[in-house]
């Protein structure tokens, strides 16, 4: 079965067609056999939320696959990455108008992501109505969080009546990293204690104990935790009260600046692209240098904090665009982790998955390519077969 995987993000629509048989191969062979049959990405600019209807993009995307020799008639299912599933969606589910409405109701918790995911699912259903469509949720992996990890220290009715709790995100990426780390370390996934750092335009850190999420840095929304490309991450909530009470910004302006104008771009005043920031740093740009130092500090702090949720630490995994490709930043983060027993690593570029720490280092440090498409394709194929059998 061929699966079209659609990954609508805050700035782009990423897509690929994956052969489900390759995804089901053994873990050791899976990566070599699982290269997408074709990939098509569509740039949505800085803010995908401004795009109310991606129907034309979906049609154009399908046309490009047709031209690449992967026609719609060869597909067996469509899978979607959806960021926020709330308490309702704890496992993959077939997409229906009712499911789309429930995902849309969670838009306030992930305004950069759920709205465009809803629009993409509607457009996908309209374009290919004859196929099973499956939603796979980033939050589902974190359904194993213990209560002391997902509750906030706020009045009880905030949780019981308003649903204020930690959900966590990047779960699909973390699930893949956990599986892949077990293969690279040649150890059963159920025995491994990992900290997975997904560093990209959005950033999070998750502690994984035997394949289960036990702590994660993002919270009710994807704003909490590490400093990110355009998002601030965790800051003193009193700062927000101060800005509002003094009338400097209203709630909508504050949300806009926290989502789109903070983080690396806010501190540097120039860009959120780490490659550009490293070049500016080398040229002596003080703001870019400060932005990178802050990013490294916050990432290291969150990795160290996540490690306290594990009985021991077998490995740290770097994934996501920055985690995979920004060797200098990766090495700087690891250099700050000596106090928890992590040995320094070389700032060397790595293009393949693997252990990048010295032989015998404990904990090990790994670089793993984010392959959310494989997890989504696997789940979409599974549910599509169940639907057809039923």
Q: In the numeric block, which tokens belong to residue 53?
A: 């209807």
Which residue in 47, 104, 138, 273 is the catalytic one? 138
Q: Within 10 A of 153 (CB to CB), how many other CB atoms are there? A: 5
Q: Would you call 209 a catalytic residue per the annotation?
A: no
Is the CATH number 3.30.420.40 carried by domain 2-168? Answer: yes
293 vs 199: CA distance, rounded Å: 15
CB within 8 A of 349, min separation 6: which ones? 325, 327
Which residue reads 């050791």 in tokens? 28
Do the domains 177-367 and 2-168 match in fold?
yes
Q: Please state, for a pLDDT cut of 70, what percent of the chain lies above it.
A: 94
> What count of Cα atoms within 13 Å lies in the side-chain half-sphere of residue 184?
25
User: Could you tell me which residues are beta bridge partners of residue 135?
Assistant: 80, 93
Domain ranges of the chain: 2-168, 177-367
- Predicted local confidence at residue 210, as pLDDT: 97
User: Could you tell me which residues are beta bridge partners of residue 43?
Assistant: 12
Please state, in angstroms and as integers, the Cα–Cα distance from residue 4 to each residue in 98, 119, 124, 280, following that order: 22, 17, 10, 39
In this predicted model, what pLDDT tens digit does every residue of 24-83 receive, in sequence order?
554 555 555 578 899 999 887 655 555 567 888 999 999 999 999 999 999 999 999 999
- Predicted local confidence at residue 22, as pLDDT: 60
Q: Within 10 A of 163 (CB to CB), how many other CB atoms are there? A: 13
- Predicted local confidence at residue 34, as pLDDT: 73
Positions in the chain short of pLDDT 70 = 10-11, 22-33, 45-52
Is the CATH number 3.30.420.40 carried by domain 177-367? Answer: yes
CB within 8 A of 67, min separation 6: which ones? none
Chain-wide mean pLDDT for the chain? 93
Cβ pair 377, 79 in contact under 8 A = yes
CB within 8 A of 253, min separation 6: which ones? none
**pTM for the full model?**
0.92
- Predicted local confidence at residue 44, as pLDDT: 75
- Predicted local confidence at residue 30, as pLDDT: 54
């Amino acid at each position: 079965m061929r699966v079209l995987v659609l990954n609508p993000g805050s700035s782009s629509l990423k897509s690929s067609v994956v052969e489900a048989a390759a995804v089901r191969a053994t873990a050791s062979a899976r990566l070599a056999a699982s290269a997408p049959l074709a990939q098509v990405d569509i740039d949505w600019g800085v803010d995908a939320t401004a795009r109310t209807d991606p129907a034309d993009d979906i049609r154009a995307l399908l046309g490009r696959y047709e031209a690449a020799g992967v026609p719609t008639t060869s597909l067996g299912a469509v899978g979607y990455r959806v960021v926020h599933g709330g308490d309702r969606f704890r496992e993959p589910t077939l997409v229906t108008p009712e499911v789309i409405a429930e995902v849309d109701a969670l838009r306030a918790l992930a305004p950069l992501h759920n709205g465009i995911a809803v629009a993409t699912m509607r457009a996908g259903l309209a374009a290919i109505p004859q196929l099973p469509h499956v939603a796979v949720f980033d939050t589902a992996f974190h359904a194993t969080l213990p209560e002391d990890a997902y509750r906030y220290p706020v009045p009880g009715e905030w949780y019981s009546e308003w649903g204020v709790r930690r959900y966590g995100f990047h779960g699909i990426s973390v699930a893949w990293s956990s599986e892949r780390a077990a293969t690279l370390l040649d150890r059963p996934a159920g025995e491994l204690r990992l900290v997975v750092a997904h560093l990209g335009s959005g950033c999070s850190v998750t502690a994984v104990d035997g394949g289960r999420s036990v702590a994660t840095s993002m919270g009710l929304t994807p704003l909490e935790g590490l400093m990110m490309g355009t998002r601030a991450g965790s800051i003193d909530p009193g700062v927000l009260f101060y800005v509002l009470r003094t009338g400097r910004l209203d709630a909508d302006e504050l949300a806009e600046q926290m989502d789109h104008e903070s983080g690396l771009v806010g501190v540097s005043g120039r860009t959120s692209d780490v490659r550009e920031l490293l070049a500016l740093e080398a040229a002596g740009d003080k703001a870019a240098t400060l932005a990178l130092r802050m990013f490294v500090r916050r990432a290291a702090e969150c990795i160290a904090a996540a490690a306290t949720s594990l009985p021991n630490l077998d490995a740290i995994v770097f994934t996501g665009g920055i985690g995979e490709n920004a060797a200098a930043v990766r090495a700087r983060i690891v250099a700050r982790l000596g106090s928890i027993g992590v040995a320094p690593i070389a700032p060397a570029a790595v293009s393949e998955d693997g252990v990048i720490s010295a032989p015998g280092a404990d904990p090990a440090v790994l670089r793993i390519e984010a392959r959310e498409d494989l997890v989504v394709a696997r789940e979409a194929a599974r549910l599509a077969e169940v639907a057809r059998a039923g």
